Amino acid sequence: MGTQADARMAAKLYREGAETGSPDGWVQLGLLHEYGALGTRDLSEAAALYQKAADAGSSEGIHHVGTMYYWGLGVEKDRDRAVVLSQGRAYGLCLCSCVPWRRLRAGRRGGAEF
């Protein structure tokens, strides 16, 4: 367990699930790319996969792609886009899992950068 062969098998199964209608498959596949479980870390591919999940209605996909935009991981940093994505999140939770949505929104209106 825990080998690249296991990760490749997981990637195959996640992709099959995603292609047959489960957006969470795109999220899980994105996580494999984000953390380098397939051998190399590929943040651009992770962001693209999270975007596919978000486009398919996955709140987890929205969370992950928003975080990528917030920090500029695999995509050009775009905090305005991150804020727009966060507005659809339940309870106004933050994209980066540590900054409240209200602070993100205040930063968008010219508040302090953090």
pLDDT for position 5? 86
Please give the model's pTM, rounded to 2 decimal places.
Answer: 0.77
What CATH number belongs to 4-81? 1.25.40.10
88 vs 62, more confident: 62
Hey, what are 39's tokens? 């051998």
pLDDT at 7 over 50: yes
At residue 98 the predicted structure's pLDDT band, cuts being 50, 70 and 90, is: very low
Q: Are 86 and 63 in contact (CB under 8 A)?
A: no
Say how many residues make up the chain.
Answer: 114
As a whole number of angstroms, the longest Cα–Cα distance in the chain is: 49
Q: How far apart are CA 51 and CA 62, in angstroms?
A: 7
Q: ∠ CA 49-55-56 to the nearest 5 degrees?
A: 95
Whole-number average pLDDT of the chain:
82
Break the chain into its structural domains and give their ranges.
4-81
